[in-house]
Amino acid sequence: MPLVAHTQLPTFERLRQEGEEIVEPERAQQQDIRELHIGLLNMMPDAALEATERQFFRLVGACNQIVQFHMHPFTIDGLPRSEKAQAHIDAYYEPFAKIQQDGLDALIISGANVTRPRLPEEDFWTPLMAVVSWAKENVTSTLCSCLATHAVIEHCYGIARTRLPAKRWGVFAHKLTDRSHPLVAEINTRFDVPHSRFNEIFQDDMERQGLKVLAVSPKAGVHLAVSPDGFRLVFFQGHPEYDAISLMKEYKREVTRYYDGDLAESPPFPENYFNKNLRHHLTGYQHQMADARNNGLAMPKFPEALLLEHLDNTWRDTAKAVFNNWLGKIYQLTNQNRRVPFMAGIDPENPLSL
C-alpha cells in the first residue's frame, strides 16, 4: 500500500515520477486505514545517501498490506558529511530525540563506510549502539543491512567480523535453509542477492550464538538471519534493496579511484553481473583507462549508456516478498492505536508464537 508523503523529502517526488503510489497527508487522513511508522537510520556516505532512501522506500511501498506507510529517516553523529549532504539531512531528516518521543513500529538500519580496523573504534559506534539499545526495548523489529548487521551482531552476540581475502562483490545465488520461517513464506527456494563487502560473519559463528540462518549462498555466505527469538532482529549481509544499476555505479566509482591513483590495480568486475559482451567492452575501457592514467591523459568517458540497457535485476521480487512478510508480521504484532513493541499477551521472547 502507499507511502505517505508526510514531509517535503525529495525522495517522495522522485518515487512518484517513477510511478510509485505516493499519498498526500490530506488524502491519507481521509482514509480509514492503519498506519505503520518505520524508521530509516541512514548511515550511508554522501554519494549513496539519497539513493539508499529511495531503495528502502520502494521496498516498503511495494508491500501489499492494508496500511499507510510513514517513513521517518534519521541519522547519527560520527559520520562525516559534505555541506550539501548535511543540508539535506538538516532539511528533511528527524532528530533521534523526536524518533524516541514519537515511537516506531519498525526500524531499518543501513550500512556505512568505515575508517578504522575495528568497528567499536568508529566514531559512529556509540551513537549507533544507543539507537540499537533503544530499539531493542521499544521497536517491534529492527532490520539491519550489511555493515549494520556486522555492528549489531558484534554488539549483541560478541561475534567480530572477519576480513575477506578479496572484496565479496557481485550477484550470487542463495538457497533457503529454513522454509518454515514466516519471513521466507512463499518465496523462491533459490534466489539472487547482490553483495558488496570486504568482511563477513560466518554461518557457524552465527549458529553457535543461537542466531537462525534462513538463506545462504555457497559462494557469498549467509545473506539472511534472525535473532534467536526469530524476529526482533533481522540481518541482511547482502543488499536486496539495490537497484539494477547499483553495482554498476559502484564499479564506476572504483574505476575512478583507479584513475585517481587511489587503487594500484584496475578493479575486477562484480561477479555474475555484467554479461559476456559487456565484460568485453569494459575490458577495452580498462585498457583505455590504464593508458590515460599512465600518460597523464584525461579520463575516458565511462560507457554507462551502453551498460544500462543490458543490466538485469534478478532479486527484486524476492526482496519485496521478504519485506512484505516482515511488515505483515509487524502489522499483526503492533497495536493500531499507539506504537508499542508488542500487543498485550504477546511474549517478547517468542513473538512468532502469535
Same domain (yes/no): 201, 274 = no
- pLDDT of 29 reads 76
Same domain (yes/no): 326, 301 = no
Same domain (yes/no): 201, 74 = yes
Rounded distance, CA 222 to CA 209, Å? Answer: 15
133, 276 contact by CB (below 8 A): no
Query: Domain residues for 27?
Result: 3-242+313-343
Query: Is the pLDDT score of 341 beyond 50?
Result: no
Secondary structure (3-state) at 113: coil
Lowest mean pLDDT among 13-27, 122-136, 329-343: 329-343
Rounded distance, CA 333 to CA 340, Å? Answer: 9
Rounded distance, CA 67 to CA 36, Å? Answer: 7
The alpha helices in 112-186, defined as continuous H runs, are 125-138, 147-157
Same domain (yes/no): 317, 297 = no
**Is residue 353 assigned to a domain?**
no
Rounded distance, CA 193 to CA 202, Å? Answer: 17
Query: Is the pLDDT score of 137 beyond 70?
Result: yes
**Is residue 349 assigned to a domain?**
no
Q: How many CB atoms lie within 10 A of CB 197?
A: 20
- pLDDT of 114 reads 94
Same domain (yes/no): 178, 262 = no
Helix (H) or strand (E) holding 141: strand 141-145
Per-residue pLDDT reduced to its tens digit, 169-186: 999 999 999 999 999 999
**Is residue 350 assigned to a domain?**
no
Query: Is the pLDDT score of 324 beyond 80?
Result: yes
57, 15 contact by CB (below 8 A): yes
Confidence of residue 349 (pLDDT cuts 50, 70, 90): low
Nearest CA among 48, 44, 104 for reference residue 75: 44
Per-residue pLDDT reduced to its tens digit, 73-90: 999 999 999 999 999 999
Secondary structure (3-state) at 332: helix
Nearest CA among 61, 68, 64 for reference residue 33: 68
Structure letter (DSSP) for residue 271 = B
Nearest CA among 48, 19, 53, 21 for reference residue 38: 53
Confidence of residue 354 (pLDDT cuts 50, 70, 90): very low
Residue 60 CB partners (closer than 8 Å, separation 6+)? 3, 38, 69, 71, 323, 327
Q: How many CB atoms lie within 10 A of CB 165?
A: 6
**Is residue 222 assigned to a domain?**
yes
Q: Is the dihedral angle over the CA atoms 135, 139, 140, 143 positive or is it negative?
A: negative
Same domain (yes/no): 136, 187 = yes
Same domain (yes/no): 174, 278 = no
Instruction: Judge residue 98's burial from the number of C-beta atoms within 10 Å of its C-beta, 0-12 exposed, 13-18 middle, 19 or more buried.
Output: exposed
Domain tally, the chain = 2
Cell of 273: 553481473
Per-residue pLDDT reduced to its tens digit, 183-196: 999 999 999 999 99
Structure letter (DSSP) for residue 267 = P
What are the backbone angles phi and psi of residue 205, rounded to the nearest 5°? -65, -40
**Is residue 302 assigned to a domain?**
yes
The predicted model scores a pTM of 0.91
Q: To 5 degrees, how large is the angle CA 27–CA 31–CA 32?
A: 160
Mean pLDDT of the chain: 91
215, 178 contact by CB (below 8 A): no
**Strand 221-226 versus strand 233-236 pairing type:** antiparallel
Rounded distance, CA 131 to CA 133, Å? Answer: 6
255, 304 contact by CB (below 8 A): no
For range 327-331, the mean pLDDT:
92
Same domain (yes/no): 256, 320 = no
Same domain (yes/no): 120, 55 = yes
Query: Is the pLDDT score of 296 beyond 80?
Result: yes
Per-residue pLDDT reduced to its tens digit, 207-250: 999 999 999 999 999 999 999 999 999 999 999 999 999 999 99
Active site amino acids = 146, 239, 241
CATH number at residue 178: 3.40.50.880
What are the backbone angles phi and psi of residue 32, rounded to the nearest 5°? -90, 70
Per-residue pLDDT reduced to its tens digit, 87-135: 999 999 999 999 999 999 999 999 999 999 999 999 999 999 999 999 9
Same domain (yes/no): 224, 293 = no
